[in-house]
Each structure stands twice: as C-alpha cells, then as structure tokens.
Structure 1
Amino acid sequence: MRQRGREGLREQRPVATMEAAEGRLSSEDSGEMGGGMAAAAVEGIMERIQSDDEECRVQAAKEIRRLTKTSPKHRRQLEGTVVPLVSMLRSSNPEFTEAAMLALLNLAVKDERNKIKIVDAGAVEPLIGFLRSTNSNLQEHATAALLTLTASSINKPIVSAAGAIPLLVKILRDGNLQAKVDAVMALYNLSTLPEDINTILAAKPIPPLVNLLKICKKSSKIAEKCTALVELLLGHDEGRMALTSEEGGVLSVVEVLEEGSPLSREHAIGALLTMCESDHCRYREVILNEGVMPGLLELTVQGTPKSQSKARSLLQLLRKSSYSGSELQAETLENILTNIVAQIDGDDCVGKAKKMLADMVQVSMEQSLRHLQKRAFATPTKQSRTKRQ
C-alpha cells in the first residue's frame, strides 16, 4: 500500500451532507433564532430592502443574511425579499451585489420554494455573469449560489440552458479552492440530467478533476464528489479517453480506492470497473500498471457490500490475462491477500484467494514494479504528489 508524504489540502469549509453542501453558509457568527419575527420587523426589512438609499439596502441585505443563516422560519418569513434582492444583482457596485448574493444564498439553503422563487425572479443570468468576473469573491459567491440553486430538480434545466456548464468547468480549472469545490458539486448536480453529460464532457472537466484529486485529502468530501463525477463521466468514451491520457489520471482514482472514505471508494471502484467493462483489453493493463492490486484485493473483503461486489467483478476481468508467463515476484501480494482473508473468512477462502491471485499474476509483476519505481523517482511535476514506502 502507498504511504503519503503529505496530507493534501483540505476543504476550507467542511461539508457534512449534500444538503449542507448545496449552500455554503456565510462565516458570520449568528446564533440559532428560535421563533419567527414579528410582522412589524418583517415589514421594516421589506421597506429597507426596497429603499432608494443604496446603503440602506446593503444593510438590509446583510440583516437578511444574518437572520436566515440558521432559521428556516426566517427564510420563509423573508421570502418576499427575493425579488428586490435579485434586482440588486444587476448593480455595478460590487458591495451591493455581494450583499445581495449572500442574502439570497442563505434564503435558498434547505428551502425548495425559495430556490425556485430566486430562479423565477431572474437570478441565473446575473449569477452566470459573475462567473466571468475577475473579482474572485463575486466569482466564488456566484458558484456557491448556483450550487445551491441546482440542488432543485426544477432549476437544473434552466441553469444548464443559460450556459453555466462551460463556465463552471472553467472555475474548476482556474478558480480558488473553495470555488473549485462548489463547482464540482454544481456540475455533479447538473450531471444527473442525461442531456447535460455531453455538454460537461465537451468542456473537458477531467484534467481539472484529476488535479483536484491530487491535492485533496483522499477521504474528504471533495474526493467523494470528484470521484462521483468521474465515475459518471467514465460511462462515456470521451471521459475514459480523457482520464487515461491525463498524467496521473488513473493513478488518482486508484489512490482514492486505497485511502478514500467508504463512499468515495465505491465511486473509485465503480469508475475502474466501468473502464474495464467498456473495453477489457484496452484498459486492463492501464489499471494494473497503476498498482491497483493491493487496494483492490483488500476491498474485496473489507469494503462495503457494493464495493466488494464491484471489486470482485473487476478482479475477474483483470485476471483474464493474455500475457505470457514470466518469472514473478508475487510474495508481497500473496501475503497481503492471505492475511486479509485469513482474518475474516478462514482457511478455505484463503485457498480460493490464492488460486485467484495465481491466475492474476500472469501479468509480469517485475514489469509493474519497475513501472512503480520509475514513477517514484520522477520529477514532482510529472507524478502524483505522493510518497511510496
């Protein structure tokens, strides 16, 4: 198994669930608001958010942002502010638009009705405009807002039709780390529409996805979302070709298979299985050469039920080798397999596992080990940022 020389970058704002991920909340300190507001308070905010005084409107937007950060009741009470907030997005004043965006973001979190109201009010067009902005804050907030809005199935085709996908891939490639994370999840939301897959692939998302996988912690939520999107894209030939032609592409998936969370390991094994099932002869050696065997063998007995099933299927494909025999060095793999299986399934299963391993090692381990050694001493710019022991 591989040992990492560095942990990799972590998300700036950890995400516990997709529901929390959809709308990355503001970092302002705000306590949980227990009950709802009095009607007079709501009316006062409505008056200020529609004021002719720009400073008054900015302060009202900030108040809405604060009140709706943690309170579902306040989100519902203040839904009437959606239209004036969306109109603020068209201002040329960055402070004005930023305050409005952050207020809308909190209004939309975990509130399906507000998500739809925001899109119906015309927010998508200015938000997409901010994706093109050279202002990194506006770009980041717009990406987060689109992530939140695309959590609604009703909004997805509207966002796609407005041309968001190529710009989200550009953010994935060139944006700051948080914007990249939000772009991945927004693209994943949109990828559930079959008609959007070709648009996503045409924007060439695989290279930036691989780059993000290389620098993130493999057990992180970032890795989960990246591998989920990669698995989906590998169902298409363009995605498979892009991954195998990218430096360290397949390796990055193998590393998630080894070190990821249970969910990300499911996506990683699913991605590799999809590749091998699509063209057994074409991709078998590519996968084997990235040192997949130790992690794959472990996954057959220690993964989730879904991971175990997919790992066994992939093993069956990888063991069907047409390579001629050679002098093999399989002791390390055999020991790994024997120890894992012996601890869990007993002696009878050990014998079966050894027979499977004997079939698989028809592929020259000497060649594989030389490949790994050569990669270990490659320059940092041409290898995954890892350290093997």
Structure 2
Amino acid sequence: MLTSFLDSEVIGEALAIMEELSGYWSSKAKIAASSTLTSVLNVLDSDDKDFQQRAIRIMYNLSFNGEVCRHFLSLKCIPKLLPFFKDMSLLRYCISILKNLCDTNEGRNSVAETKGCISSVTEILETGSDEEQEHALAVLVSLCSQRVDYCKLVMDSDIILPLAYISKNGNDKGKAIAMELLRLLRDIDYVENEDCLEPNLNTPQDSNNHPPQEKKTSKGASFMKKLSLFSKSSSHASKSKR
C-alpha cells in the first residue's frame, strides 16, 4: 500500500513513513520482498530534492541487510547512486551504501565495473570527512583484496597524494586502513616490477653488444615512484618546520 502511494500526490508522506520503517531490522526483509526497492530507486530520477534525500536515507537504512543489498545490485542501483556523491549532505549515506554493497563479491564487481565509480570514491579521500574517508578507503581495500585488475584500476585513479597524506596525517583508523591499502598496492607493484625487469632472453644481442632489452616500466612502478617522491618531500618539509 505504501509503495502504491509513491506514485501519488502523497509521495512525501509515504517516503517519510518508509524512512522510519526502514530503520527497524524486522522491516528490512519485508521491504526487500516487496516491489518497494524498485519504486524507491525510481524516486532518485525525480526532480524533487527532498524526495531524493529521503530515498537515499531509505537505501542507507536498508543496505545493512545483505539480502536487500543483493536486490539493490540486481536493480543496478550504483549508476543511479553516483550523481549524489556530489551532494555533500548525502555523501556519508552514499559511501556507506557502497561500503555495505562491497561486502559481497557481486557488489565489488559492480563497483569496479561501473564507469566513474572508483574515481568518485577516490575523490572522497580529498573532500570527505574523516568518517567518509574511512568508508571510501574500506571500499578500495575490499576491491584491491579481491583482484589484481582492481588494484590496477585504483592505481590509475588520482589516489597517490590523498592516500599518502591520510597514511601520515589521518586519524588512527584512517591511517590504519590507508596503510593496508598501500600494502596491497605495493604488493602488486612488486610483482609487476619482477616481471618488467626480467630480461628478454629470446632477444639476441646486436653487433654493438647492447644488453638484452628490458620490458617497459609498469604503471604500478610509476605509482610507487611518485609515492616515494611524495614521502621524501613530506619528510623534508617536516624537518624544515623544525
């Protein structure tokens, strides 16, 4: 009955009731079993900001239920959610929803495969609050822990400076997660460096006795080189202040 009201003139009142109900654990499964999720996602396409905000908060409340998350993913919710990452009043809800979705393999795959999603998450490392940064880092760690390809996608985003900064200057929890992400990226960088420095023994030396050619430097190596330069710069700046 409430879902049917989302297509009526009392949509605001219906969303307010749903927002209240979505906060109760016993209601989450019932909401997921109905057609409500589709209707709530459709509200995000409306032009009413108040309705959109209520829909996001409903999604946030429901995202703590794994069964609901699976329904959200089947409805392709992430592309609908991304535009609201620009709204600072909704950012903490949006990144929390994404973090909860990443508790499943399907969620991590969907995040990695949605165009612009990783870059939107990375941007939070510069613009978000401490809590929002922690959630963003947790999303990136969950991706990099799953597949090497996802590590490469993360390294391709503009993550070097904000990640290094948080690992040195964030709060305790932020530092810990940032260091874990750095470890994962360093591990993949080490493996790639081992591969790229392996000489091509099948290539004959030329008449000038040049050594065998080495493979081109990987993106991972470039990432860690830039990180090293940033660390040295930060260390020098710290000594200068003294």
Short-chain TM bin: 0.7 to 0.9
Distance in 2, matches of 1:225 and 1:267, equals 10
Residue 338 (structure 1) aligned with residue 199 (structure 2): no
The 1:332/1:273 distance shift into structure 2, 3 A limit, reads: closer
Matched-pair contact (CA < 8 Å) for 1:207–1:242: no
1:104-134 Cα deviation digits (max 9, x unpaired):
xxxxxxxxxxxxxxxxxxxxx2x2112234x
The 1:313/1:332 distance shift into structure 2, 3 A limit, reads: closer
Deviation at 1:259, TM superposition (A): 1.1
Distance in 2, matches of 1:310 and 1:251, equals 18
Deviation at 1:336, TM superposition (A): 3.5
Letter in 1 for 2:153: V
The 1:198/1:175 distance shift into structure 2, 3 A limit, reads: farther
Deviation at 1:208, TM superposition (A): 1.2
Give the match for residue 131 of structure 1.
6
Distance in 1, matches of 2:231 and 2:17, equals 47
Distance in 2, matches of 1:192 and 1:164, equals 16
Matched-pair contact (CA < 8 Å) for 2:119–2:157: yes
Matched-pair contact (CA < 8 Å) for 1:209–1:226: yes
1:235-254 aligned within 5 A: 235-254=103-122
1:257 pairs with one of 110, 121, 125: 125
Residue 228 (structure 1) aligned with residue 100 (structure 2): no
Give the match for residue 64 of structure 2.
192
The 1:153/1:328 distance shift into structure 2, 3 A limit, reads: closer
Higher helix share: 2
Deviation at 1:210, TM superposition (A): 1.2
User: Given the two structures, how large is their TM-score scaled by the length of structure 1?
Assistant: 0.50
Identity of aligned residues (%): 23
Residue 305 (structure 1) aligned with residue 172 (structure 2): yes
Residue 167 (structure 1) aligned with residue 34 (structure 2): no
Give the match for residue 82 of structure 2.
210
- Could you tell me which runs of 5 or more consecutive residues in structure 2 were left unpaired when the two chains were aligned: 197-215
Matched-pair contact (CA < 8 Å) for 1:301–1:340: no
SS in 2 for 1:148: helix
Matched-pair contact (CA < 8 Å) for 2:29–2:67: no
Residue 275 (structure 1) aligned with residue 147 (structure 2): no
- Could you tell me which runs of 5 or more consecutive residues in structure 1 were left unpaired when the two chains were aligned: 1-124, 348-389
Number of residue pairs matched by the alignment: 213
Larger radius of gyration: 1
Deviation at 1:195, TM superposition (A): 2.3
Distance in 2, matches of 1:294 and 1:173, equals 35
Distance in 1, matches of 2:222 and 2:175, equals 27
SS in 1 for 2:157: coil
The 1:342/1:131 distance shift into structure 2, 3 A limit, reads: farther
Matched-pair contact (CA < 8 Å) for 1:298–1:337: no
1:209-239 Cα deviation digits (max 9, x unpaired):
11211x32xxx34111100111111222322
User: Given the two structures, how large is their TM-score scaled by the length of structure 2?
Assistant: 0.77
**Higher RCO (C-alpha 8 Å, min separation 6):** 1
Matched-pair contact (CA < 8 Å) for 2:99–2:135: yes
The 1:151/1:233 distance shift into structure 2, 3 A limit, reads: same
The 1:153/1:342 distance shift into structure 2, 3 A limit, reads: farther
Deviation at 1:261, TM superposition (A): 0.7
Distance in 1, matches of 2:138 and 2:222, equals 29
Distance in 1, matches of 2:28 and 2:234, equals 45
SS in 2 for 1:247: coil
Distance in 2, matches of 1:237 and 1:330, equals 28
Deviation at 1:176, TM superposition (A): 2.8
Distance in 2, matches of 1:142 and 1:282, equals 43
Letter in 1 for 2:157: E
Distance in 2, matches of 1:141 and 1:251, equals 35
Give the match for residue 158 of structure 1.
30
Matched-pair contact (CA < 8 Å) for 1:169–1:204: no
Q: Greater shift after overlay, 182-191 or 167-176?
A: 167-176
Deviation at 1:288, TM superposition (A): 0.7
